[in-house]
Every structure is written in C-alpha cells, then in structure tokens.
Amino acid sequence: MIVCYLDDSDAKVSKVETIAGYLADEEGWSRFEEKSEEICSKYDVELIRGHDLDNRRKAFRGWTQLKCQRFLEEISIAMVGNVIGGISRSIGKDHYKLRKRQLMETSPSQKRSFASLSGFGFCFGNISVALKDGDEFGIRDQVREEGIIFNLEAGSSNNLDIVRYVEGEKDHRNLHINTIVSEVDKRSCRAIQIADLYAFYSRRRGNYHERRKHLIIPRVPDIHQLHFGKKVPHDTAVIEEPFISGTNQRTGETFSFMGLTKGLHD
C-alpha cells in the first residue's frame, strides 16, 4: 500500500501556505529509514527540519554550505529506488480567502463544504485528487484499488480539516474506503522530516512565484532542488485558481475542478 508523509509550512510574512511530502510503499519506506538513519547518525543529526537547515540552527549550527550539500546529497541518494516521488501544493493566502468568500456567497450549496476548509485543507484535497485521478508517478491504479495512507505531522491545527475532507470523500465514494489519515510525531521517522524539508523549500518557491508572478526574473535553484530534485520526481505547484466550475456546452453537464495549478518545475 502507498504511504504518503505530508507536512505543512507557513510563515507570517509568506504570501502562500503549503503542504508537501513524499510517497513510497511500506517496504520502500522501511529501506529508506534504515539508510537515512545511518546517515543522520554519521552527521549527528537528531532532527531534520528545513528552517533549521536553512538558518544553520540546532543540529546544523556551524555547518558550512559544503557540509549541508554533502548531507542532503547522501539523504537524496538514500531515496533512490525507495521513494516514489514528492508532491507539493501551495495556495495564495489572500486569494484563497477572497475566492472562498465569493463561492460561499454565490453558491449556497457549497457553503457547508467550504465553511471550515482552510487553505491547507484545500491544498491537501488537490494532492488527493492528483494522486487518485492523475498519474504523475504511475500509481493511480494502485491508489484507486487499495487506497492510500496519509501520515501527517502530529499537532498541526490543520489536520482536522484533512480528516473531515477524507471522511466526506469516502462517504461520497470519491476515495477508496481503505484511505487512512493518521498522525506521526516529527521525531518518529525520517520520512516526516524530509516532508518538512520539502514543505519549507517549496513554500519558499511558491512565495517567490506569488510575489513575482508578473515579472520575468530567473531564480537560482535552492539547495533542495539541487540535491533532491535530480534524484526522484517532484510535482511542485501553486494553485492559482482554487474554484473553477462551468457547463459542458455539448452535453449540458456541469463540471468542477479542485484547482488550476501552475507547476514550479525542479
């Protein structure tokens, strides 16, 4: 069964909020945990966190850029053949609030569905749909036939949104009945820690995109892109329009999308 570890990332000064993480089957995660634990022991890293790495805090205090690169390179090599890929979705905070309010005012039938759904919850929904209906990683049929386990970092205030979303989708038979949402402690495994790393850096990319979306400015790849992006596939995107609905002019049927995304390619 596919297991997806997801973590959220936000900052008061950021224009976006993000949820991101990695996918593997249970055997793949077991192999990765063994390899990554050996690496972290060698480098004396108790906890991998994007914010700490980027700011050279705690376990990474005093590290040179070269040492950071070597550490990430070894962790990313441990992912090869074990981790299927990474998926990340970001959404603009102000735009989401505006469109959510507009939808609830113009479509009363949707009010109950979206009244308590945060931007993080919406990003999770987009990821869930991408894994079930898209086939970026070649696992769509397996997700449809077996379900998927979503492991979230314990303690996040946004987890309840995700639980409600999954239960509602299961009730409407839009997700396999065996789809599970559970929580894991940040110190319990390296899988949720690399999800934190991905969430931190992909939020930064999303924030950069939102602040400069109308400008053509080249962006230097960050340290995560340089080392992780080359080893396993990453589906990193910003949800630019969260609510899209319309009518098929040929059949008259109504349709809707979970969101239109713009890929931020590694």
Per-residue confidence (pLDDT) for residue 249, from 0 to 100: 63
- Give the dihedral sign, CA 39/40/44/45: positive
DSSP assignment letter at 169: H
d(CA 128, CA 123): 9
Count: domains in the chain = 1
Note down pLDDT in tens along the chain; length 266 residues. 999 999 999 888 899 999 999 999 999 999 999 999 999 999 999 999 999 999 999 999 999 999 999 999 999 999 999 999 999 999 999 988 888 887 777 666 666 666 677 889 889 999 999 999 999 999 999 999 999 999 999 998 889 889 988 988 888 888 999 999 999 999 999 999 999 999 999 999 999 888 876 555 556 678 899 889 889 999 999 998 887 766 666 666 666 667 888 888 75
Per-residue confidence (pLDDT) for residue 177, from 0 to 100: 96
Per-residue confidence (pLDDT) for residue 42, from 0 to 100: 98
| Of 195, 129, 125, residue with least CA distance to 163 | 125
d(CA 241, CA 36): 37
pTM: 0.90
Q: Which amino acid is at 121?
A: G
Token reading at 122? 């919406």
Parent domain of 31: 2-263
Instruction: Please answer whether residues 234 and 85 qualify as being in contact, where contact means their C-beta atoms are separated by less than 8 angstroms.
Output: yes
- Give the dihedral sign, CA 99/104/105/110: positive
Phi, psi angles (nearest 5°) of residue 172? -95, 10
- Cβ count within 10 A of residue 85: 17
d(CA 180, CA 1): 11
